[in-house]
Chains A and B, each alone.
Chain A
Amino acid sequence: MATSANVLTLHKVSYKYDDAKSFALRRVDAAFEAGKIYTIIGKSGSGKSTLLSLLAGLDVAKGGEILYGKKSLKELDRDDYRARNIGVVFQGYNLLTNTTAVKNIVLSMDISGSKEADKKQYAYDLLAKVGINRETAERKILKLSGGEQQRVAIARALSHEPNVILADEPTGNLDSETEEEILAIFASLAHDEGKCVIIVTHSKRITAIADVIYGMNAGSLTQMRAK
């Protein structure tokens, strides 16, 4: 299954939280290619967010292995990997709440070592793309609605132009019109720019545009449909 086109490859990946009794992930095998949209569906608590966290390099698998290209994440500098190669839209957004939307994005660009000349302008443009205007961009995250925060989180995930985009319920707080706009962005990123987009979702709209659908059940992952 692991071909050279695979961006991320999982080999029998298992994971258990330190203080948990059972495994959050059990021997997960999967492969993610560039230029495709993947969705992962499954019940609450089945391990979807845990899988995304491992793909994002927030921790390493307790068993098995995750390869980025041909390199094991265990051997990579996972800070750099997160900063440059991966863009994550966390389920809880994980934005710096007491600073502005635009500063969140600029900081992310700073951390990734972005060479962008005018980072602030770039951030405004990016925020405009997900429907955040300049005035909203200058507001503190705490003073934004859930949907606005979600869109800032999406913008931040894209800000350093990563190869892989991991999104955990990225449209859960959005109205259907905005959701369509976001989906268009994801689709374009995958199909036009050749990025690998992995989305955890319950949204029918997203599964509809997905190239591959995985189902997560009690820590086990199974491929349900491929186009």
Chain B
Amino acid sequence: MFIFTNAMENLLRNKGRNILIMTIIFLIIATTVVALIINNTSSAVIEDYKTRFSSQVSISPDMEKVREEAMSGASGGMISMRMPIIEPELLLSFAQSEALQRSEAYASVSADSDSLTAIDQSDDEENGSGPAGPGGSISGSSGPGGNVGFSIRGAGNYRLYGGFWEAFNNGTRALVDDGISALPAADNECLVSQELAELNGIKVGDIIRLQVQMSYDIPADADLTGYADGDSYRINGQTYTLNQGLSDIFFASRTVEVALKVTGIYDDLNDAYDNENMPKMAAFNHRNEILTTLDTLLSLRSTNENNINLIVTYFLKSPDLLADFEAYARDAGLSDLFLVTTDAASYDRIVKPVVALKSITLTFMIVVLVLGAIILILLTLIAIRERKYEIGVLRAMGMKKAKVALGLWTELLVMTAICLVLGLGVGALAAQPITDVLITQQAEAAAPDTAGPGGPMTTGSGGPIGVSVIGAPVMISGSGAGGNLQPLSEMDIAIGFDTILEIIAIALLLATLSGLVSTSRITRYEPIRILMERN
């Protein structure tokens, strides 16, 4: 006990020396606190993104293999590249895998209506240009490279979604408060946007009629000799109209009439267009989205039709179960023309600034700790030398070495504790502004390489990252914010319990380190020498 009180008195007695030591300890702790907070927050952010991205599985065509396939099948100098198709039932069946925590699925298809007017429908386009004849527009959006599997359809002013309720869950869409609007409970029911309802005078309970162009993916080995543009082609119990494309390739399509009962009207908080640069066309306007059930949408499709865009996102129970999931999907019949991947690239890009920030602060912290420890040790050595006589007197009075050391250690500990409180406070205050500066720099450094070669390779939807595509043309499905693939440029700093424990451990370590230095000195000091030298 007297060791403690004596240590406290010593602290007050040697203010000058102790303030110097405390300044050093304070600087070490405050900078370490900042570095540690940033480091730990970064780790949490990275971990969060990692689990989110690396547990989200996407199944997508393996472009390498698709190309190889096309080359090997090339005949007569004509290469026709075909995107492989997965039947929706198969894609949905993968959801049964034990490796998954859950899965999400929705589908969409482009549609027209001869009875409704779409928002931003252009004037020169005849309402419901109808079953596309040879003059029917070729779908504006095309797949990577723009040369793969055109499909021919109408203007595609509407987009019919099946099972796309995500926006309702995350609160960017909601039913209007009219007392009767309700989500579709059965097949062939739908929601329309408030704007579309107003424009066309649609009321809950009305039936709306849409036409959907289904395109049949003609197998490569199909023999179409003798067929001409505009002929009918029957297969799988369906009748298609053939259209001859630019390079004599036939496209087969049929029109499906859809009648949907409006069960509700929704209010959309999202912008009508994904961004400023989008052409103001009905096809891109989110207000023209008509929402029905997944089953309704999938029931429109017949075998080998490729223009329903089914998006299934699988969430693994843990990132390391990817191989298990892939094995399950392959067993179930997934062709090796498809890749089963997590979206590591997006993850890397998003967290790049944070990873950089983390390594900067980590390096900084190590430098500060090493330099700080060296300075502290030197300072302790000087302080101990100054106190040699005092130590000699205490030893002469019969105080044991261990107790002398304990006293010095107590002094250091108390000083460290004070610095810890100050350092934690100052560090916590400084961490956010420092983070802001650093992460902005890192985000800017990470940003320029966003324009990938050959145009946007990402599938249109910005929502779910894992995108599975049926059919060739990747549709601009516009399911909301497409901006979240940007590198992170903000990070909210928080002092966690872990951080506090770590900084306490580091502070204790520092105190112990200099305590050990003093102890090793004390052990060498023989009181007789100290005292006789003075005499």
Residues of chain A whose beta carbon lies under 8 Å from any beta carbon of chain B? 17-18, 49-50, 53, 56, 58-59, 79-84, 88, 90-92, 94-96, 98-99, 103, 107-108, 110-112, 156
**B135 cross-chain contacts in A, Cβ below 8 A:** none
**B528 cross-chain contacts in A, Cβ below 8 A:** 53, 58-59
Beyond A58-B527, A99-B13, whether A92 also contacts B534 by CB under 8 A is: yes
In the complex, are the beta carbons of B392 and A96 less than 8 A apart?
Answer: no
User: Closest approach, in angstroms, between the C-beta of A111 and any C-beta of chain B?
Assistant: 5
A58 vs B531: C-alpha distance when bound (angstroms): 10
In the complex, are the beta carbons of B535 and A82 less than 8 A apart?
Answer: no
Within 8 A of A (CB), among B1-42: 2, 6, 9, 13-14
**B400 cross-chain contacts in A, Cβ below 8 A:** 79
Beyond A53-B528, A59-B528, A94-B392, whether A111 also contacts B535 by CB under 8 A is: no
**A108 cross-chain contacts in B, Cβ below 8 A:** 397
B532 on interface, CB distance cutoff 8 Å: yes
User: Closest approach, in angstroms, between the C-beta of B132 and any C-beta of chain A?
Assistant: 100
A160 vs B401: C-alpha distance when bound (angstroms): 20
In the complex, are the beta carbons of B13 and A111 less than 8 A apart?
Answer: no
**B395 cross-chain contacts in A, Cβ below 8 A:** 79
User: Closest approach, in angstroms, between the C-beta of B535 and any C-beta of chain A?
Assistant: 5
In the complex, are the beta carbons of A83 and B527 less than 8 A apart?
Answer: no
Identify the closest chain A residue to B401 (Cβ): A79
A58 vs B13: C-alpha distance when bound (angstroms): 27
**A80 cross-chain contacts in B, Cβ below 8 A:** 398
**B2 cross-chain contacts in A, Cβ below 8 A:** 107, 110-111
**B526 cross-chain contacts in A, Cβ below 8 A:** 58-59
User: Closest approach, in angstroms, between the C-beta of B341 and any C-beta of chain A?
Assistant: 71
Residues of chain B whose beta carbon lies under 8 Å from any beta carbon of chain A? 2, 6, 9, 13-14, 390, 392-401, 526-529, 531-532, 534-535
Jot down 14 A-B pairs with beta carbons below 8 A, ordered by A. A49-B535, A58-B527, A59-B526, A59-B528, A79-B399, A80-B398, A82-B396, A84-B398, A94-B393, A94-B396, A94-B531, A95-B393, A107-B2, A111-B398
In the complex, are the beta carbons of B397 and A111 less than 8 A apart?
Answer: yes
Q: How many residue pairs between the two chains, A and B, have CB atoms under 8 Å in the bound complex?
A: 65
In the complex, are the beta carbons of A82 and B397 less than 8 A apart?
Answer: yes
**B527 cross-chain contacts in A, Cβ below 8 A:** 58
Q: Which of B390, B529, B532 contacts A96 (CB 8 A)?
A: B390
User: Closest approach, in angstroms, between the C-beta of A216 and any C-beta of chain B?
Assistant: 16
**A103 cross-chain contacts in B, Cβ below 8 A:** 9
**A96 cross-chain contacts in B, Cβ below 8 A:** 390, 393-394
**B398 cross-chain contacts in A, Cβ below 8 A:** 79-84, 111-112
**B532 cross-chain contacts in A, Cβ below 8 A:** 17, 49-50, 53
Identify the closest chain A residue to B400 (Cβ): A79
Beyond A59-B528, A92-B531, whether A99 also contacts B9 by CB under 8 A is: yes
Q: Which of A50, A88, A98, A107 contacts B13 (CB 8 A)?
A: A98
**Which residue among A59, A92, A107, A156 has the maximum number of chain B CB atoms within 10 Å of its CB?**
A107
User: Closest approach, in angstroms, between the C-beta of A12 and any C-beta of chain B?
Assistant: 20
Closest 7 CB pairs of A and B: A83-B398, A82-B398, A110-B2, A58-B528, A59-B528, A92-B535, A79-B400
**Which residue among B14, B397, B528 has the maximum number of chain A CB atoms within 10 Å of its CB?**
B397
**A110 cross-chain contacts in B, Cβ below 8 A:** 2, 6
**B392 cross-chain contacts in A, Cβ below 8 A:** 94
A96 vs B388: C-alpha distance when bound (angstroms): 11
**B396 cross-chain contacts in A, Cβ below 8 A:** 56, 58, 82, 88, 90, 94
Identify the closest chain A residue to B6 (Cβ): A107
A205 vs B519: C-alpha distance when bound (angstroms): 45
A56 vs B531: C-alpha distance when bound (angstroms): 13
A18 vs B524: C-alpha distance when bound (angstroms): 14
A50-B532, A53-B532, A96-B393 known; 20 new pairs, CB 8 Å cut-off, are A17-B532, A49-B535, A53-B528, A56-B396, A58-B526, A58-B527, A79-B398, A79-B401, A82-B398, A83-B399, A90-B531, A90-B535, A92-B531, A94-B534, A95-B393, A98-B14, A107-B6, A107-B397, A112-B398, A156-B397
Identify the closest chain A residue to B1 (Cβ): A110
